[in-house]
A = this chain, B = another copy of it.
Amino acid sequence: PMRARGLTLLLTTCAARRTLPGLVSVAPSAAKSMSSSVVDRLETPALLVDAEALERNLDLCRESLAAFAGVALRPHAKAHKCGPLGALQVQRMGARGLCCQTVAEAEVMVEAGVADILITNQCVTPGKLRRVLALRGHAAEGLTHLGFLVDSADQVQLLVDALAAEGGAGPSVPISLYVEVDAGQGRCGVAPPPASEAVLELARAIHAAGEATGGQVSFGGIHCYHGFLQHVRDPEARASAVSEGPVRAAAASRDLLEAHGLSVPVITGGGTGTYLMECRGGVHNEVQPGSFAFMDGDYAANVGMPDFTQSLFVLSTVISKPSSDRAVCDAGTKAVDQLSGPPEVRGFHRDPASSVPLSGGVTYKCGGDEHGILLGDGVATLRVGDLVLLRPSHCDPAVNLFDQIHLVRDGAVEAVHPIGARGPGC
């Protein structure tokens, strides 16, 4: 199966790389050289996205939801923080809108024309609340929905205070508040029934805030997501954990609210590792996959995923070749996030037209903030100036290190997109 097409074929793939589920080897004979438009224009380290692989991932995700007619798709923009990619996702996938994790991401996505935003996080500082309210000014340009999460009445009150400080009736788009329910992750979220009735109290507080503000606050529904389950490797264990965790917690929360006469418009959650399991659970009616667009080493180690392809790479240059079995490249921890493990070495290229034949394995070892140490037999033929293609272990924080995404198609840079919301989470 030729899954690893596109960019992977632009470079001679490292012959003996680690084989992970979901990856296949590419015969060196299939390699073609990277065009001069890539080699000459890009300074390394650079962040590359294989446009074809990205588009296949978007299409595959959309198609994977065809069997679940009642479930809407809301891809997560925290993976890319990039306005043009967010707009592409909505358009090409027929997505309801986007998830954002920060107010900065919401601003960038609205600016890119995305009409429906759910910030899957609590907004509590005066500055962030002001910025969220200011986004409603885009109603005239088509903004239809804007929401964020709460897990205590304090947060609802902070929003009401911010609205009062603003004065006046405000624009027509209300702020939809979603009750975050802890599905077992032990991070944010109220405890689900039957352990507590906090979800009911909070939904009532939101409705009361709606009345007190003349409809400027509305009850959006329930957010029930479990991040740690995304990377449970075994698909049966993962499915079982999703049933016992987010699906069960969401159902109990919905049942409690409905028993008290409150309807629940949206039950949202799920990520790249589990979203089809939430779909099968029959409770969630909106899912939030994000990393599927890029994929990374951590997700590639999962079993039983849709056939998503790696599309994200870090391009690096060999700057030193101190011995026959060691080379050093210019991508360290400031270019490739390594908290989830070192990147995988995917290929090499030598300017201008010749690829580098490799006869053995190459592994990446962390060499500090600005160095990667390449070890193994396959290093023997490398020279200073050769290019190295790395696959990050975790796509979101790796993307966050860069200011730009280079979209590459057929060996040429098709577009350079700003990672407009890059930053520490403001």
Contacts and interface: CB of A to CB of B under 8 A. Distances in A.
Nearest to A424: B335
Interface stretch (A23-31, A239-247, A250-258, A395-403): A395-403
A339 interface: yes
B424 A331 contact: yes
Contacts of A425: 45, 330-332, 334-335, 369-370
Interface in A246-281: none
Contacts of A369: 78, 101, 396-397, 400, 425
A397 to B, nearest CB: 5
A213 interface: no
Interface in A380-421: 383-385, 396-397, 400-403
A158 B385 contact: yes
A81 to B, nearest CB: 10
Contacts of A167: none
Given A45-B426, A384-B154, A385-B125, A187 B373 contact: yes
Contact of A383 (B121, B128, B154, B367): B154
A320 B122 contact: yes
A319 interface: yes
Contact of A426 (B44, B151, B426): B44
Report the copy number of this chain in the oligomer. Answer: 2
A122 B426 contact: no
A222 interface: no
Interface stretch (A88-96, A305-313, A321-329): A321-329
Interface string A184-227: 00111111000000000000000000000000000000000001
Contact of A333 (B40, B151, B337, B383): B337
A191 B189 CA distance: 56
Contact of A397 (B47, B78, B334): B334
Contacts of A191: 322-323
A127 interface: yes
Interface residues of A, number: 68
A332 B189 CA distance: 17
A152 B328 contact: no
A368 B397 CA distance: 10
A152 B401 contact: no
A40 B127 CA distance: 8
A43 interface: yes
Main secondary structure of the interface of A (DSSP, over half): loop
A371 interface: yes
A182 interface: yes
Contacts of A330: 121, 425
A373 B188 CA distance: 9
A367 B425 CA distance: 13
A108 to B, nearest CB: 15
B190 A322 contact: yes
A124 B333 contact: no
B368 A187 contact: yes
B320 A188 contact: yes
A212 B152 CA distance: 73
Contacts of A339: 333, 338-339
Contacts of A363: none
A314 B384 CA distance: 38
18 contacts: A43-B125, A47-B424, A101-B369, A123-B319, A124-B318, A124-B385, A155-B320, A155-B384, A186-B326, A188-B320, A189-B320, A190-B322, A331-B425, A333-B339, A334-B424, A335-B425, A338-B339, A403-B423
